[in-house]
Amino acid sequence: MLKRLLHDESGLTLTELMVAGAMAAIISAAFLLVFSSFNRSVSLEEARASALREVQAATAELTVELRQAIPLTDSSFAVASLEAGWPAPELVFHSDRFREADGPERYRYYVSGCSGNLCDLMREVTVADAGGPPWTFTGTATAERVVANVLTDGDPLFQGAEWTTGSEVVTTSCGAAAACRFSLVQIVVRIDPDPNTSAEEPLNVRREVRLRNAP
């Protein structure tokens, strides 16, 4: 009798094995789902942090350059030209930051490599030709991408601003047709931290730069 009981309790039936296997599979799938979701969240946060560092560094550099912007002549202004609206925003100014150069440098910020509603923000620097003033800029420009995945469906990238009689006057286009007569440049950069995920909220970086050599 004892031998038979021991024999009956020594193993599991096929049904019990199948139930145990199904439970193990369910638990493993749930674990993998949680682990995958955690990894995705970590990746998204890393992408947001990396994108934020990139845009903050670029706008900080632009702020320093703009604050030192200088007019090329007595009749010109600190900002040479500005186009605020999409699809082709552009900001051009001159700043004497390279002490080894004879004259100032021409800085141009613009967008390139656009695909859909995303563009790259580019920075282009041209050193003044020797022999000035008057300064000319016919040499080879050095261009680099400073911010990737800039969204084109938001506020103007650049615009000028001036307070007159208690109200703000905004300049969205100046240069050839109209002088860039303002003391403040407003910069709004919206970026998609992860273009592969449409659910991600855009990052917004706003700066207001007061020109030291404004009229």
Residue 90 lies in a domain: yes
Position 39 pLDDT exceeds 90: no
Residue 75 lies in a domain: yes
The two structure tokens encoding residue 54: 């990139």
No. of helices (H) and no. of strands (E), the chain: 2, 10
Residue 67 lies in a domain: yes
Residue 152 lies in a domain: yes
124 close to 146: Cβ distance less than 8 angstroms = no
Nearest to 192 by CA among 109, 115, 124: 115
Sequence-separated (6 or more) residues with CB below 8 Å from residue 179 = 76, 77
Number of C-beta neighbours around residue 95 at 10 A: 19
Nearest to 104 by CA among 81, 74, 80, 126: 126
More confident residue, 12 or 10: 12
Q: What pLDDT is attached to residue 124?
A: 97
Give the predicted TM-score (pTM) of the model: 0.79
- Give the mean pLDDT of 138-160: 94
Residue 62 lies in a domain: yes
Nearest to 110 by CA among 76, 152, 78: 152
What's the sign of the alpha-carbon dihedral 94, 146, 178, 141? positive
Give yes or no for a cis peptide into 215 (omega within 30° of 0).
no
Residue 37 lies in a domain: no
- DSSP assignment letter at 4: H
If one counts the domains in the chain, the total is 1
Which of 36-40, 160-164, 194-198 is predicted with the least confidence, judged by mean pLDDT? 36-40
Which of 27-31, 44-48, 53-57, 95-99 is predicted with the least confidence, judged by mean pLDDT? 27-31
> Which residues constitute the domain of residue 160?
45-210
Sequence-separated (6 or more) residues with CB below 8 Å from residue 96 = 68, 70, 103, 104, 105
- Give the mean pLDDT of 95-117: 89
| Tens-place pLDDT, residues 166-186 | 788 999 999 988 999 999 999
Residue 205 lies in a domain: yes
- Give the mean pLDDT of 46-65: 90
Query: At 141, is the pLDDT very low, low, confident or very high (cuts 50, 70, 90)?
Result: very high
Query: At 12, is the pLDDT very low, low, confident or very high (cuts 50, 70, 90)?
Result: low
Residue 32 lies in a domain: no
Tokens 């659910």 -> residue: 199
